[in-house]
Structure 1
């Protein structure tokens, strides 16, 4: 709890009406989360305008209103109205201040990149725990403390908004957490979700094409990712990604590189002896995690001894097997990620490789044909299906995918219903065959025009394998 005057100290603003010594207990931009004494930030978003909910917020107990516009009329006079230059930045500032700046007293590692963020953050958390630390991992799959998933009230987002992040960091500190390992999405970086969160180590993994459209083009996407290097004390970069190297050329902080080459700062020529998870990209993910621990002073030879214990997070090459049929569920939803997992599985598959995948709606359309081409290149059979179409026509998305191989290929089948597509792939598999279900990984919902519907690739695959065994037996 703070007085409004304390919260606004040294912050550029104009205050109208109300009592500037009002006690403040929290902050939010969601009128549904308002509690007595909260600051309501009436920000104008892409789909809604907070100004429309000011009266509702006051009725629910909001003690202060914050805006970044001067053209609003009919503003309340009985509560303070604070006009700031940037609402997003103010939310980050106020959230951190109300929580007592917990990031300052823990080590914070932020990982960004088109692919691999979740895997690398979990690898770092696992390695830190091996050395007696108490890490918390925050990202796409949720919040984990000591490797155990926590049930918390927060949105399912790669990078949590500041109003959720800083109170969570406060709770982590109270629980004795020593290190925070979090995923930094491009959207999270460009919208200042990590502002006022002191970051010790930043990691830049790779740059793909998945979010170009969301940012308005390649340059804007790269600039969003590049922001991380301006927020950290030390930057770690993938030496094998030329775009990443260019992005840190003018960094004013120390830069540490990792890669499968002796020219990298962190290089382990015999990593395969210690790290049993397959795939070139997973070797790079492990090296990224190893690099983070070297920055904190741990010896390379000691770190690699623990790599045998590393495990992939949920939905990353997650395996099911029954009666000789192997099924892998993977989050691969970009061309680079899909190629990586297909390449890994194709080298170990004794029979046919059958791939089930789709592409998300309202996302980078340019990747669809490329992913279709990759699926056909590596797989004996491909079933193209629906994957989080959102408000876009699922058949239109599939049409874009089919263009990757001319739209006419005997190895490709279209099955709009994802559940049926998974069942068809598994039922058609023979002993020795491998089925890859790509795109959704850990997700437990399917995002359609009708909203979020319960759906799990893992559960659907598990049930299909069980039913296949039953049918084969009978």
Structure 2
């Protein structure tokens, strides 16, 4: 594509050199640069892309998006486009380069603290029964031809627009997309056209990034001003009610779902079993009975949200019901570990207070023996939630084993000490085992066939971050090793 076309509607300060040149690709990582490409120089937290211009030239870049003044040899051979902030305009440049791909897809954005992965993954299963559906989320990016492990829940804007374009090439009609608060705050989803947005819930999380819970909620709310067809809000959530009040006068309809509040989509007569849920759903035009092959009250909320989306898309409820009944679940989301010792072991991604409380409450409802919980908290992240999670784990578990999660660059002892601030030390139902593998082995060694072991915090992750390095570590594999040795 010609560079002048790529720069349409981009606010530039100056352009040095020829903009009537052809660009074959765009990169923001100098290590990926190929011939005849545009290199976007981003000033990040850890490095500055302007320092790698000469490396990019050696790899064949011939145009550069900059925000700093540059002085290199033979500058007149290349084109430099100066803007106020390269990262801010990257989304527009990416959308232009890929011919506004999100406008040609039905992109459904799902935001909230918990439930995004479960909703988007199940929604993709359903929509694939009707037409091809791509997926952008925490576990994977699926463009209907290949699956890619993402760096972030929501990719950088350039990667995001490329993913949309790949989905179009592979004849996708839909895209189910997790939309994180970071992406909304940092502009990764700018120039993305969303057909509709869904809000699941909001609890204390990412307060290392956001100033406070209000700032966190305001970031989530941004999604609902970017939609073209409808918005859907969980109004059992107090923050959902605030968002609903803020967006109710927009030009597009807002639908609500709930169990307790009066809403457009409601669940009643709920039955919670250890391996499934059942309930009656009431929609604006019909009622039906729902069976979901995933346990827990949170699954009621997740599937209610999905039913709302499918209703608006005019998807046959029988297709929805078939997927709910037959789904094998989502990796690392209340995932039951199959084993021949008849031990009940569940791996779950719960790494927020609300998510941990939800899975423990759900587990207590069907467990005949003890609930044994293994959990920790991530390092270099929100410290305020640590004592809260300690209190929840102790309150809703018969035994809480406090261990390490992804300590990153923090001392694991300090993280555990923060968790202990929420623990009642007079009660003897907690154990501290810093080594995560040892903690999982201990939990399984303690359990009998009536007990339930919950390994929380990492879910689908197959690594543990210690320092700045990822070390192979999979809760599921470690649990199976421990079971086989029992």
Counterpart for residue 306 of structure 2? 289
Which stretch shows the higher mean deviation, 383-392 or 212-221?
A: 212-221
After superposition, the C-alpha distances for 1:178-218 in whole angstroms (9 at most, x for unaligned) are: 11001000001111111122110111111111112212222
Counterpart for residue 186 of structure 1? 181
**Using a 3 Å threshold, how does the CA distance of structure 1 residues 86 and 377 change in structure 2: closer, same or farther?**
same
How do 1:427-446 residues align onto structure 2 when only pairs under 5 Å count? 427-446=445-464
| SS of equivalent to 2:241 | helix
Aligned equivalent of 1:333, options 327, 330, 351? 351
Which stretch shows the higher mean deviation, 60-69 or 421-430?
A: 60-69
Counterpart for residue 240 of structure 2? 244
Distance in structure 2 (CA, Å) of the matches to 1:46 and 1:302: 46
After superposition, the C-alpha distances for 1:129-155 in whole angstroms (9 at most, x for unaligned) are: 33x221112100102366x9x343x64
Contact 1:40–1:57 under 8 Å retained in 2: yes
How do 1:83-162 residues align onto structure 2 when only pairs under 5 Å count? 83-130=82-129, 132-144=130-142, 150-152=146-148, 155-162=150-157
| SS of equivalent to 1:343 | helix
Shift of 1:111: 0.4
Aligned equivalent of 1:458, options 444, 452, 476? 476
Shift of 1:101: 1.9
Moved segments of 4+, more than 6 Å: none
- TM-score w.r.t. length of structure 2: 0.90
**Using a 3 Å threshold, how does the CA distance of structure 1 residues 379 and 250 change in structure 2: closer, same or farther?**
closer
Contact 1:275–1:310 under 8 Å retained in 2: no
**Using a 3 Å threshold, how does the CA distance of structure 1 residues 123 and 188 change in structure 2: closer, same or farther?**
same
**Using a 3 Å threshold, how does the CA distance of structure 1 residues 302 and 51 change in structure 2: closer, same or farther?**
closer
After superposition, the C-alpha distances for 1:162-181 in whole angstroms (9 at most, x for unaligned) are: 22122222221121211100
**Using a 3 Å threshold, how does the CA distance of structure 1 residues 354 and 173 change in structure 2: closer, same or farther?**
same
Give ranges in structure 1 of 5+ residues lacking alignment.
469-474
Which stretch shows the higher mean deviation, 448-457 or 272-281?
A: 272-281
Counterpart for residue 400 of structure 2? 382
**Using a 3 Å threshold, how does the CA distance of structure 1 residues 409 and 33 change in structure 2: closer, same or farther?**
farther
Distance in structure 1 (CA, Å) of the matches to 2:101 and 2:15: 31
Aligned equivalent of 2:193, options 182, 192, 198? 198
Shift of 1:248: 3.1
Distance in structure 2 (CA, Å) of the matches to 1:302 and 1:165: 29
Shift of 1:304: 4.2
After superposition, the C-alpha distances for 1:55-96 in whole angstroms (9 at most, x for unaligned) are: 211221111111234x55558342111112332232111212
Distance in structure 2 (CA, Å) of the matches to 1:289 and 1:209: 24
Which stretch shows the higher mean deviation, 417-426 or 309-318?
A: 309-318
Distance in structure 2 (CA, Å) of the matches to 1:232 and 1:397: 40
RMSD (Å), alpha carbons: 2.0
Which stretch shows the higher mean deviation, 25-34 or 324-333?
A: 25-34
Counterpart for residue 442 of structure 2? 424
| SS of equivalent to 2:268 | coil
Shift of 1:262: 6.6
How do 1:402-421 residues align onto structure 2 when only pairs under 5 Å count? 402-407=420-425, 409-421=427-439
Question: How many residues are matched?
Answer: 462
| SS of equivalent to 2:128 | helix
Contact 2:137–2:150 under 8 Å retained in 1: no
Contact 1:123–1:311 under 8 Å retained in 2: no
Counterpart for residue 275 of structure 1? 291
Contact 2:141–2:150 under 8 Å retained in 1: no
Counterpart for residue 282 of structure 2? none
Shift of 1:352: 1.1
Contact 1:212–1:221 under 8 Å retained in 2: yes
Shift of 1:298: 3.0
Aligned equivalent of 1:228, options 223, 226, 236? 223
Shift of 1:309: 2.8
